[in-house]
Structures are given as structure tokens and as C-alpha cells.
Amino acid sequence: MSRNDPAADYDGPPDYRVIGRHALFPQTSHDEIERINFLAQMNRHLAANVVPGVKQAYEKRVVPAFEALEARPIANRHEARKALLQDPAFQTWSALRRMTMEQRQQAGRWTALRQAEQLAEKARELTEGDERLKLDPTLQQPRYVSAVDHHCMPGSYHTEYFPGDVTNGANYDHAGFVTTSGLLGKYSDGGGHAVARWVKRNLPDFQPQQILEIGGTVGHSSLPLAQAFPEAEMTIVDLGAPVLRYGLGRAKSLGVDNVRFVQASGEDLSIFPDASFDWIQTTMFLHELSTGSLRRIMAETRRLLKPGGIVLHVEQPQYAPEMPLFEQAMRDWDAYYNNEPFWSRMHEMDLDAEMIAAGFERDQLIHGGVTAVVDRDLFPDAADDDKEDYGRKAAWHVIGATV
């Protein structure tokens, strides 16, 4: 530690201006950037400086109060969360964390909406007549997407405010930095690079020709796979037209051409014949589903895989019995207070059993772990980060299978 040198000791998100831009990236004024910087620092402050107080309150107040009242220990994460809800430390942290998310949506949406027509025009120029964008206006949004807007993002991934609109793609892309504090890197693609690196290391002979990402939104985690395997064709499927339209424009602008964006539900990919893909990927996707749709999607991945192919799902860690109840309760926060209603149930599911029920063999299941791969000169590296932001950290589990 260098004495009295704040810069040398700096631990936190980088200035937003290091973010990577592309043709569809919204213009951001000085003050819009500073709003994002402030909100990223808010999230960092809550994780680094406020959460430890919540943990202490749990140990010193919440647990003793529960045990005094019930004459038994807290039995599960739901009891832990409900007990925490009575404690002022959890209440204050929760209120601030919720407000920070609401402020982030307002900030990002303002930037995207005030230039919505210009962005749509750029998207039209980039994608009009391009067969790599296939939209299906008849597609119905499933209940697990339409009931509540995921992570308090008004209109979610699918709402279009006018024909050709990309607002919700632009908002999701440019202001996601607030939540991840830069941990996903220059193009918010650290997760995709991590997966590509994991595959190259663990499956060095794997040479996929056809890759599918389900729920790939604007392509944050898909483009790195397309870049890592330039001979392959990458297909990104999503329910939302604005994110797909934005996604193809973004990919082309970034010089990634071996991609196509298709509007479809992962539950019904009958547009693709059996055994169409060598590799099927989902990244931080399963928790936004429902029990039924997760099963149907896993069955579709089994049907669509070619012999010798792989499926990989990247997610936050499952709730294991050895995970402390406090951590489980804190991780459940997003399910109940940040509109991620399937988060809690999904993280307690036996995913091995679900994969087997979908037709995969137990001895061909894959388990691993990855952390975001970022440009370490500019961005914090999740592998070096000892803070825990319960569900937001760029360190994930991999579950998958070969066939």
C-alpha cells in the first residue's frame, strides 16, 4: 500500500467512459455518464460497506430474537429472510438496493428513450433486409416473462414502443454496468469470454459448427463464442424483438458476422430440426424461467444436440445444504424484491436430476465454475474480488452435458 495515495489504493468500478461502444450504443451526455458512475458506486458501497452490517445484525439480533421466540434455530432460508425483514439493518439495505435499481432503470431508460427514433433508424440501416434477423410478430410472451418485469426493467426485453424500436435493448446494454460495477468488462461480455475459455481448456478438440444460445438477448455472452469459433455459425434465440434487432446491429458494428438472431421461445424450437447444434448455451438465463418451461427447454436442448455435442448452462451457484442460511436468504432477495420470481425455486432445484429427466445420461453430465474474463488493465477481475454481492457477482457455476 502506497501511503496517502488514494489512486493506488482504489478498489471499485472504473469510470464508465472505459465502456466499449458500437454503432447502436446510445449517446451519453456528461451527466448521464455521471449518473451511471454514481449508481455503480452505490451498488459497490452497499455490497462492500452495508452488507457486512446486515450480516452482523443477522448474527447478533435476528438469530437470537428468532431463537428466543421460537425456542429452535432458523430452519430454512425463507424463515431467515422473513426474520431479516423485521430488522432495521436489512430494511435499510433493502430499501437502498431497490431504489438504486429503480434509479438505474430511470437513468438508462431516459438515455435510450430520448434518442429512441435515432437508435431505431440506425438499427434499420444496419439490419434491414438482412436474413440474419428473423422476427416472429405472432410470438406470445409467456407468463414467466409478462407477469412482472425482470430486474425492475419496465417493459422487460420484449416491449416495443413503436415499429422498429430498440429502446429496451439499448437500455439493457448500456446501463447494465450499474449492476455489475464493470465486472463484465468493456462490452459486458466477460461471461461469454469465460465460457469460451472454459470450453477451449476443457474440450480442446471440440470444433463446433453450429452453436445456439437460448435467451441470448443482445448477444453479450453469445458474441464471444462466435469470435472464439469463427468457423462456426452462432444462432441467438430470444423472446424479445427489440433486443434481437439491437443485437444484430451491435454484432455487425463490432465486426462479428457469423451470427443470426431469431425470435422464438426456447420451449418450442421446432423451427430447428433434431440434432441441429453442436453446442447449446444458456448464460444467466435459467433463473428467469418457470419449472415447466425449464423442463421443456432442457428437453429441447436434448433434441437439438448432435451426437458428440454439448449443452452448458451458466448460473449463479445452487443452494446447497452447506451454504449458510444467511447467504441463501440474501441470494433470495432478487427473487422477491427485484422481480426475479423463479430465482429462489430454480436455485434449489436438483439440476442434475432435471438434466437426466430431459434425456441426458448421468455419467455424461458436466460441472464446472467460471469467473468473468475482462481486460484487467481497465476492469476489476471477479476472481480477485472478495466482496460478495449475493447473486450479482461475476462468478458462476456451469452445469451441462455431452451426448
Residues in contact with other proteins by the rule CB under 8 A: 30-31, 34-35, 37-39, 42, 85, 90-92, 94-96, 98-100, 102-103, 105-107, 109-110, 113-114, 116-117, 146-149, 152-156, 161-162, 336-337, 339
Instruction: With CA atoms as reference, report the closest residue to 248 among 161, 155, 123.
Output: 123
H or E segment at 253? Answer: helix 241-253
- The CA-based angle 227-233-235, given to 5 degrees, is 100
Cβ 204 vs Cβ 95: under 8 Å: no
- The CA-based angle 104-107-113, given to 5 degrees, is 130
Residue whose CB is less far from other proteins, 106 or 318? 106
Cβ 238 vs Cβ 266: under 8 Å: no
Residue whose CB is less far from other proteins, 96 or 299? 96
Strand boundaries in 194-284, DSSP class E: 210-214, 233-238, 259-263, 277-283
Residue whose CB is less far from other proteins, 31 or 231? 31
What are 259's three cell numbers?
Answer: 451470427
Fill in the DSSP letter of residue 129: T
Sheet holding 210-214, edge to edge: 133-134, 259-263, 233-238, 210-214, 277-283, 305-315, 395-402, 365-371
What are 84's three cell numbers?
Answer: 431479516
- Name residue 234's beta-bridge partners: 211, 259
Integer Cα distance of 107 and 19 in angstroms: 17
Buried b (16+ CB within 10 A) or exposed e, 135-148: eeeeeeebebbeee
Q: How far is the CB of 149 from other proteins (least distance, A)?
A: 4
Residue 341's identity, in one-letter code, is P
